[in-house]
Structure 1
Amino acid sequence: MELLFLAHRVPYPPDRGDKIRSFHLLKHLSARAKVHLVAFTDDDRDLAHRDALTPWTATRTLVPRRKGQARAAIEALATGKPVSLTAFADPAVSAACADILSTHPIDTIFCFSGQMAQYLPARAQRVIMDFVDVDSAKFAGYADDARVPMAWMMRREARLLGAFERAISARADVSLFVSEAEAALFRGGGGKGRVIAIENGIDTVRFDPEAAFESVAAPRPLIAFTGQMDYRPNMEAVRWFAEDILPLIRRTHDATFAIVGRNPDPAVTALVSPHVIVTGEVADVRGWLAAASAVVAPLRLARGVQNKVLEAMAMARPVVASAAAAEGIDHDGTIRTGRDADAIADAVTSLLGNSADAAALGVAARARVIARYGWSARLAPLDALLGLDARRNAA
């Protein structure tokens, strides 16, 4: 079997949410098919990872994404398309896909993220479409909180992208989402064809408090948040926590809040204070997780399974998440949740005040992750989608 894998971001190294999922999908598929990768790069550092992808790919085409958001928006308004598509429209990617399809006997196209679905050909290869989240619903949520004219742009994006998502689902053999909640949302919004959930997993060998990693000298008690810090939901989450929740916690605990992640937006760096640390990119997030007395995920807008939560659970840290961030995770009560600032603050305060309870919660969280979220178990349903079960039976 030969497979074309399309990704809106090069799936290596697996150091952020979307790249973690795409990398493990690529790794799983490469053990079952000859994989040809076509992906965008965000910067020159991504190009340096071309050789690192060799164990999992037969060919690798990496295309730098140079188009700015302003140009993508102008193109979208001129063509009647969603910005999500024009931002990733590139003739070099179209040419690369056409070349691979014409020179290799591609059985299946695995398309990771809706932005790449514009490159699906009219030919009849099997198509597995991994939307991950319902992106159109995300933009609808943005519109609710935005002002004119941005609210108009967000509603336009939600409408046009939603129509595109539904059209692609009718073309695909199967549409994947990161959680059953996202899959149900898509079905309820008019998604076509077969729609199923393939959940995220976690590497519990790497994310293990007993693994070898560099420790971090940090003030205690420390409350940590991890994530890509130019991503709007993460930016809004840390601002809410720093401005509305941390002051409530500091009434009883002299706690420091660490915001750990690459590319912090100016709105994030503006939060720096004697009690708020913004690290920027770190070589290894595990040291910060291990140093944390509690890890928080106070996202108001969250889609699917949050890798940041799974990583903290695997590191046996006590986690406090918003109801939205916890929704996609089958945690079985091994994390604390809150629906508003007071509830989240109370949960964190309780953990900081009782180290034995916090440690026990962390141990239970790690056990839950090991039992429920191993990558091999999460991705096993892909074999049937690829037709491998039928081939094995025939053999």
Structure 2
Amino acid sequence: MRILFLTPDVPYPPRSGGTIKSMSVLRHLQRAHQVRVLCFRRAPLTPEQEAWTTEAGPIETVPLRRGRSAWNLLRSYAAGVPLSVLRNRSRPMFRLAAEELASEPFDAAFADGWLMAQYVPAGYRGLRVLHEHNAEHLMWQRQAELETSFGRRAVVRLEHMRVRNYESAIVRRFDVVFAVSQDDRVALEGLGARSGSVGLLPNIPQEGLLDRPELQAPGEPTLLFLGTLGWPPNAEGLRRFLRSGFPLLRSRRPDVRLVVAGAGTPRWLERLISKTPGVEFAGAVLDPEPLYRRARAFVDVGVGGSGTRVKVLNAMARGLPVVSLPWGLEGLGAVPGEHALVAEDQRGLADLLGQILENDARWLRLSEAGRTLVRERYVPEIAFAELDAALGATSGDLTPDRD
């Protein structure tokens, strides 16, 4: 098949959860299909990215840089779309996508994320596929529940309703919609997606992690949190852990260290990290392997959100035991106590982290079980089976009926 792949960011190099998933799906599609990529570039391409666009082409990028601001929020109200959609709205991209689909016989248009759904024209007659990295309305609903400020809670609740209405409209326009978890699938079906149109396209870890040698339990009591620090569920969860769970653990194990790594750190979070005893800030890292090798456990303190956590899959694939709040294992089919340790609150996190720091036998069991779970469920040939089936089932009938 010939597929037009629309994605919001240059997916190379894949370092965030979103680009890891986008790159995994793109590579999988390229093995069996002819794929053309259209994406935004939000900064000048690095030499590494320039080389990738040449080697992995055909790939075309469109410049776009539009931040969050009160003015853009007002513009989004006037346009009747959520703020994130307005921030990713581009006339050149509309024009380019329409021209590509009109001038070449693409069998399918693949919108990689809800932000790119707007670029699949209503009149396009090929197969329309939407890949929802998250059930966005569910994520906004949970974010509203976490807000403590009355004013911010009101704004987030309003945005949740706007996202829900928009997401409900777009899932109805696509022939196939993919969710990353069963919970997200149920949420998207509840928005009115076509009967039987919502499938599963689970997240998978970064390529190559399963192929690396087994880790050895380090003697030093070092914990790792690695994630996109600008993502509100991560930032808020880390704030809570630094103010509650981690100090409690330090009161029992004064030698314990926490390494925080990731991009997009808000200034308030940098200040909190810098003044919290026992915490090291690594910032954005190009290669997390030294951090994986140094750490005794991966702690996922994120709260809210939706979908599944790529950072948790990465840690499991690398063989690093995971200790998490309940959100961290949502949708993964992981058994608490077997594949990872799960705490209900900050005190529980401190308790479980203390156990994993001291028990080598339990460390080894969790390391092996996490890798086994990933091998059995979260490799492309298994996780992407429904995508292959959807494309294969339509390869003989590439102009499905439209409502």
How does the TM-score come out when normalised to structure 1? Answer: 0.91
1:389 and 1:290 map into 2 onto residues whose CA distance is 45
Structural mapping, 1:44-83, within 5 Å = 44-45=44-45, 49-57=49-57, 59-70=58-69, 71-83=71-83
Which of 332, 336, 344 is the equivalent residue of 1:339? 344
1:317 aligns with 2:320: yes
1:56 positional shift: 4.0
Does 1:276 find its partner at 2:279? yes
Instruction: Go from structure 1 to structure 2 and tell me whether the alpha carbon gap of 1:341 and 1:274 turns closer, same or farther (over 3 Å shift).
Output: closer
Q: Is contact 2:239–2:269 with CA below 8 Å preserved after alignment?
A: yes
* Amino acid corresponding to residue 257 of structure 2 in structure 1: T
- Supply the AA of the counterpart residue of 1:93: M
1:136–1:350 CA distance, 2 compared to 1 (3 A): same
1:12 to 1:183, Cα distance in 2 relative to 1, 3 A: same
**In structure 2, which of residues 181, 184, 188 is the aligned counterpart of residue 179 of structure 1?**
181
1:205-233 Cα offsets, whole Å, 9 max, x none, are 33555289xx9xx9931110111111111
Q: Is the 8 A contact 1:9 1:42 kept in 2?
A: yes
Letter in 2 for 1:74: L
Q: Could you tell me how far apart the structure 2 residues matched to 1:65 and 1:46 are? A: 16
Aligned to 2:400: none
How far off its partner does 1:55 sit?
A: 4.6
Q: TM-score, normalised by structure 2?
A: 0.90
**Contact conserved, 1:82 with 1:157, CA < 8 A, in 2?**
yes
Question: Could you report, residue by residue, the CA deviation over 1:174-204 in whole angstroms, capped at 9, with x for unpaired residues?
Answer: 1111111111122234444411211112256
Kindly report which structure 2 residues correspond to 1:154-193, keeping only aligned pairs within 5 A, or say none: 154-193=156-195
SS at 1:381's partner residue? Answer: helix
Q: Which has the higher contact order (CA 8 A, sep 6+)?
A: 2
Contact map agreement 1:200 1:375 (CA 8 A) in 2: no
Query: Residue in 1 aligned with 2:293?
Result: 290
Unaligned runs of 5+ in 2: 398-403
* CA distance in structure 2 between the aligned counterparts of 1:142 and 1:209, rounded to whole angstroms: 36
CA deviation profile, 1:74-101 (whole Å, cap 9, x unmatched): 2112222211210101111111102211
C-alpha contact 2:209 2:317 (8 A) present in aligned 1: no
Matched residue pairs, number? 387
From the superposition, tell whether residues 208 and 251 of structure 1 become closer, same or farther in structure 2 (CA, over 3 Å).
farther
The alignment-based identity, stated in percent, is 27
Task: Say if 2:89 is the partner of 1:89.
Answer: yes
- Structure 1, residues 259-303: CA drift from partner, whole Å, max 9, x if none? 111222212211224411111111211211121111111211131
Partner secondary structure for residue 187 of structure 2: helix
Counterparts of 1:26 and 1:358, CA distance in 2: 35
Find the counterpart in structure 1 of residue 375 from structure 2.
370
CA distance in 2, matches of 1:230, 1:357: 33
Matched residue type, 2:163: L
Work out whether residues 302 and 325 of structure 1, in 8 Å CA contact, stay in contact via their aligned partners in 2: no
Distance 1:46 1:237, change over 3 A: farther
Cα distance in 2 between the residues matched to 1:236 and 1:46: 31
Matching residue's letter, 1:385:
A
2:94 & 2:329 partners in 1: Cα distance? 38
The reply on whether 1:380 has 2:385 as its aligned counterpart is yes
| Paired position in structure 2 for 1:21 | 21
Deviation for aligned residue 1:54:
4.2
| Aligned pair partner of 1:151 in 140, 153, 167 | 153
**Contact 1:296 1:321 (C-alpha < 8 Å) held by counterparts:** yes
Residues 142 and 305 in structure 2, CA contact (< 8 A), matched pair in contact too: no
RMSD (CA atoms): 2.3
* Equivalent AA in structure 2 for residue 64 of structure 1: P
Q: Does 1:240 align with 2:240?
A: yes
